[in-house]
Amino acid sequence: MTEREFTFAFQGSEGERQTAKGGPEQSLISALRDSSSVFSEEERKNEGKAVQLLEGEHLRGALNLGMPCKCLPENAHLEALFVGGGGGSQGREGIAEGKECTTFTVGAAPGKRPILKGPEAGVDLCVFALEGETVGEALSEDGRFLPEVGGEGWRLVERQQGRRAFPLSLAARELQAGAYELGFEGEGAGGRPNLRELAQELDEYLKGRLGGGGPWEAAQKEFEELMGGVTPNRVPSHVAKLPTAMNESVGTLRWSRLGAEGSAACFHLARGHVLTCYHAVKMMVGEGVPESEWGPAVRQAASVSFTYRTTAETQWKVASDGLKAYSAELDYAILALEAAAGQGSELRPGLAAWSTKPVGQGVVYAVGRHFADALMLVPLGPRESGDLSGRRSFQAFSSHSFSRQPRSERAPYGTEFLHDPASSGSPVFSYYGGLVGMSAGGYQYEERVVEFGPTVQAIAAHVHLNHHPLYQLLFGGGPSKKGCSVM
């Protein structure tokens, strides 16, 4: 194979494209340094910063600096940028000559643990593998991933329709030119256990929306009609026509542990117990802590606050043995509270009294402490729409769903393309005021964001099965006059 020629430009530069070339086995960074004085001069100006090379048309991600030039497609064009302050550039080393090259794109699944060491965080990576290597071996040799990535329990999940999962023991050649999310077994595609099933459900819905500009345009038109012709990101809570007491039962869970701070939403469920997301509690305790040791860590790190219209903010602590129930699959956790020293003990009414079965379609509201997000439910398939008894999760469009998200290869860009992460754990109500679910986040579907969360019915059923006395305490007292049965 003769020398491979390619072009490059510096990201954000208005200048013309530069040309570089290298031998088939020569690394990209070496080819740039040897064949382009323009690149070498720019690198000297940015001494101490790390180089990123992005290829957006074919390889769709940040390239490994050690990639052999033979792996580049014909007419490849790279964007070069210098990032960070104090880190050098790394690339794979020790390339065996004469072996065929396979490339595939890898990104972190939304909401999951970090996978990258350095300044590439927030971008997709184009990984190359040599003939005979498995996916795990290619990731391990890449040099940009954290040491624990690629070990037992990790897997890749397709970003395209179907969202099939692949073990890292698979031959890398099977993934040629594909795009995947990398995460840990058990946490599931996209950071939650059932996103593959939700994506398939969304596929079926969109297939039936063809015509008039395409399925997304048809869904947007329906969304605007249901919202009265306007699609603000958020609307004041009173527009949702919910009782004030419901809004005031929504609180903020904050934590500070080992130098890390964060927050999520929560709400008073009943009798001094709040409901929030499992992934928020996991973020609180940190990676590597067994679930059996979460209780003391949560008690030490967490506080909960509610702001009422008539009183000052009230701080609550998690009680001793306060982590009462949780499920990674449903992404929920129930915490028992106790009043902090010197604080009052008043809590607004628990929302479990308004619990009801899932809504099949239409508008629901994810209610935070100050605003409500109007969401349009993605209806179940025709064969299932009449029976909601087994519905464990809901998914819905918001106004965010109809604007395309930034493509990762144009990075670096902020990784929080979803709603404010502190909104996870917000209650979700039907138009008539029934508590039907809990907001758990969103996932990216073909550059769109779709909201999702567990139904309150599924949470109650899990508590009933695994923690029956707790179920009786929180849900078993019978509905209030305004409420209705959840099961």
Query: Tens digit of pLDDT for each residue in 308-320?
Result: 554 556 689 999 9
* Helix or strand (DSSP H, E) at 435: strand 435-438
The mean pLDDT value for 421-425 works out to 72
Dihedral pair phi/psi, residue 472, rounded to 5°: -60, -35
**What is the predicted pLDDT for the residue at 388?**
78
Dihedral pair phi/psi, residue 297, rounded to 5°: -65, -45
| Lowest mean pLDDT, pick from 128-132, 167-171, 270-274 | 167-171
Task: Measure CA 76 to chain center.
Answer: 31
When pLDDT is cut at 50, 70 and 90, the band that residue 484 belongs to is very low
Structure tokens at 403: 């604007």
Dihedral pair phi/psi, residue 70, rounded to 5°: -65, -20
Q: Give residue 42's identity as a one-letter amino acid code.
A: E
The mean pLDDT value for 403-431 works out to 56
The mean pLDDT value for 325-339 works out to 92
107: closest CA among 88, 96, 123? 123
The mean pLDDT value for 435-453 works out to 85
Which percentage of the chain shows pLDDT scores above 90? 37
The mean pLDDT value for 380-403 works out to 77
- Only one residue has tokens 């072009």, namely 7
Annotate 135-198 with DSSP letters as a single string: HHHHHHHHSSB-TTTTSTTEEEEESSTT--EEETTSBGGGGTT-EEEEEETTT-GGGSTTHHHH
Residue of higher predicted confidence among 395 and 388: 395
Write down the mean pLDDT value for the chain.
80
Q: Which residues face 453 on adjacent strands?
A: 394
**What is the predicted pLDDT for the residue at 417?**
31
- β pairing state of 77-83 and 4-10: parallel
The mean pLDDT value for 68-72 works out to 95
**What is the predicted pLDDT for the residue at 44?**
93
**What is the predicted pLDDT for the residue at 482?**
42
**What is the predicted pLDDT for the residue at 299?**
94
Complete domains list, the chain, with CATH? 4-191 (no CATH), 196-240+352-474 (2.40.10.10), 244-347 (2.40.10.10)
**What is the predicted pLDDT for the residue at 6?**
96
Cα separation, 92 vs 144, in Å, equals 9
Which residues in 371-415 belong to E strands, given as ranges?
371-377, 393-397
Coil, helix or strand for 202? helix
pLDDT at 282 over 60: yes
pLDDT at 197 over 90: no
**What is the predicted pLDDT for the residue at 60?**
84
pLDDT at 355 over 60: yes
Q: Give residue 233's identity as a one-letter amino acid code.
A: N
**What is the predicted pLDDT for the residue at 138?**
93
**What is the predicted pLDDT for the residue at 432?**
81
Q: Which residues face 372 on adjacent strands?
A: 235, 367
- Within 8 A by CB and 6+ apart from 382, the residues are none
Model confidence pTM above 0.85: no
242: closest CA among 332, 96, 62, 374? 374
The mean pLDDT value for 87-91 works out to 62
pLDDT at 105 over 60: yes
| Lowest mean pLDDT, pick from 66-80, 287-301, 406-420, 440-454 | 406-420
Q: Which residues face 339 on adjacent strands?
A: 316
| Lowest mean pLDDT, pick from 50-59, 81-90, 345-354, 423-432 | 81-90
